[in-house]
Amino acid sequence: MEAYAVIQTGGKQYMVRKGEIIKIEHLEAEKGNAVEFKNVLAFHDGTTIKIGAPVELEGANYRFNGTVTDMKLGST
């Protein structure tokens, strides 16, 4: 199974995979800005799953980075 994580940001949870583009609501960042998601609820490395409460899992290995590629205002 492919590695994935479940992160929480903006009051919502998102399942993410490396290289994936996702749509996130209520992210306070500008287009082109780097963002770090520290609130990782679960991480599956392809073999083992680690689960936390809505708090950080211990260790820097459970932080995910992204870049804001587009900004949209209003409903879609």
Domain boundaries, the chain: 4-67
> For residue range 34-75, what is the model confidence (pLDDT) as tens digits?
998 888 888 888 888 888 765 556 655 667 888 988 877 765
- Tokens representing 59 are 């260790």
Q: pLDDT value at position 56?
A: 57
Q: pLDDT value at position 58?
A: 60
Q: Is the pLDDT of residue 15 over 90?
A: yes
User: Which of helix, strand or coil describes residue 8?
Assistant: strand
pTM of the shown model: 0.76
Residue 51, CA distances (Å) to 3, 6, 20 in order: 14, 9, 21
Dihedral sign for Cα atoms in the order 67, 72, 73, 76: negative
In angstroms, the CA 57 to CA 73 distance is 32
User: Which of helix, strand or coil describes residue 36?
Assistant: strand
